[in-house]
Amino acid sequence: MMKLVRTLASTFVAMTLAAAVHAQVPAKPQVVLLATGGTIAGAGASAANSATYQAAKVPVDKLIAGVPELAQVAAVRGEQVFQIASESFTNEHLLTLGKRVAALARQPEVDGIVITHGTDTLEETAFFLGLTVRTDKPVVVVGSMRPSTALSADGTLNLLNAVTVASSKDSRGKGVLVVMNDEIHSGRDVSKSINIKTEAFKSAWGPLGMVVEGRTYWFRAPVKRHTLTSEFDIEAIKALPQVDIAYGYGNASDVAQRAFVAKGAKALIHAGTGNGSVAAPVVPALRELRAQGVQIIRSARVVGGGFVLRNAEQPDDQYDWVVSHDLNPQKARILAMVALANGSDSKSLQRVFMEY
């Protein structure tokens, strides 16, 4: 009898101690990893292949298994949303991904979301999510410039850093973030600026911070509207309108612009030379297309660090055109699609380009 009492007592003490220890160890953040493909899931024929490889090969569970250190940062579970190279993203892919991110963000037990993504259009997806997903939880988009099979592959550390940022409370409320090469960027500002180096992503106004050895270091916060301060909501978007981009250059004609509209474009982004300049032979076509109800948005092919000034190179007030402010052509396309899906006319479109 005494033996039974002693056994029960020691069991009770052991359970109480375990509960006490468990209570002291804070529960790990719950992070969901949504995999879409890209180089971070890529594989090359040999370790020497840092730029020749096939993107979108490695499945999400292998991505997670490839970085055991993730488990020290967060409880990570994966979903394979797509398995594609990101140059092939469509508007439908954006909507599907955005709705999944929003659904996960609404789940109380989810603390952060990481999206692995090809680097080619990563900046477009990150901006789109920042405009349309109503959450202050960290949403972090991450990719890599080298496949996991290459010497000095960058994907594993990028993924660990992305989960670290997604697990950090101080990442909340900063909009959708992009983590690449130890830097934390705003999804709005960042662009792939170099096509073949690991230091490929630059923000026109600089990164927001850095993540180094498991810690985040912040130096600034976004001032433009995003996520919870956005008037746009992914749940209200049924479809995104066709918006196309036409480059400006010497000897340019209006063939592309007319062809885009003939195929259903509802807005044209002019990737102009200099300050969004429009070549003389192209102006009449843009004015004609505007009169047909197509929105005309002047952006610039010039890489970041400035902005297109309204009524400077063209009489935008007279023509009822819009300027993209500091947004490059590919970012301007994303914002134009979201704003038009929300019913913006040219007046509200210009307001939107100044506020987001």
CA distance 262 to 169: 48
> Which residue is associated with the tokens 């890599």?
144
Which residue number has the CB closest to ligand DAS?
Answer: 118
Taking the complex as a whole, how short is the minimal distance between the CB of residue 207 and ligand DAS, in angstroms? 19
| Residue 209 within binding range of ligand DAS, rule CB under 6 A | no
Which spans in the chain are helix H? 2-24, 60-65, 70-73, 91-105, 122-132, 155-167, 255-262, 283-291, 316-319, 329-341, 346-355
Q: CA nearest 121: which of 157, 163, 159, 88?
A: 88
| Residue 191 within binding range of ligand DAS, rule CB under 6 A | no
CB 146 within 8 A of CB 198: yes
Q: What is the DSSP letter of 41?
A: G
The verdict on whether residue 348 carries a ligand-binding annotation is no
| Residue 143 within binding range of ligand DAS, rule CB under 6 A | yes
CB burial readout 75-106, b (16+ within 10 A) else e:
ebebebbbbbbbeebebebbbebbebbbebbe
Taking the complex as a whole, how short is the minimal distance between the CB of residue 151 and ligand DAS, in angstroms? 17
The verdict on whether residue 86 carries a ligand-binding annotation is yes
CA distance 207 to 331: 17
Taking the complex as a whole, how short is the minimal distance between the CB of residue 315 and ligand DAS, in angstroms? 39
Q: Which two tokens stand for residue 127?
A: 């901006």
Taking the complex as a whole, how short is the minimal distance between the CB of residue 78 and ligand DAS, in angstroms? 18
Is residue 149 annotated as a catalytic residue, yes or no?
no
Cβ nearer to ligand DAS, comparing 120 with 189: 120
Which spans in 138-197 are helix H? 155-167
Among 118, 138, 248, 329, binds ligand DAS (CB under 6 A): 118
| Residue 153 within binding range of ligand DAS, rule CB under 6 A | no
Which amino acid is located at 186 in the chain?
A: S
CA distance 318 to 347: 13
| Residue 125 within binding range of ligand DAS, rule CB under 6 A | no
| Residue 190 within binding range of ligand DAS, rule CB under 6 A | no
Among 79, 87, 170, 317, binds ligand DAS (CB under 6 A): 87
In the chain, what's the furthest Cα-to-Cα distance?
Answer: 102
- Per-residue interface string for the shown chain with ligand DAS, residues 24-63, x marking contact by CB under 6 A: --------------xx---------------x--------
Is residue 39 annotated as a catalytic residue, yes or no?
yes
Cβ nearer to ligand DAS, comparing 41 with 267: 41
Residue 35 β-bridge partners: 80, 116
- By CB under 6 A, the residues from 308 to 337 that bind ligand DAS are none
Handedness of CA 200, 331, 251, 253 (dihedral sign): positive
Cβ nearer to ligand DAS, comparing 86 with 328: 86
The verdict on whether residue 120 carries a ligand-binding annotation is yes
Q: Which residues are catalytic?
A: 39, 119
Please give the annotated binding residues, written as ranges.
86, 119-120
Q: Which residues bind ligand DAS (CB under 6 A)?
A: 38-39, 55, 85-87, 118-120, 143
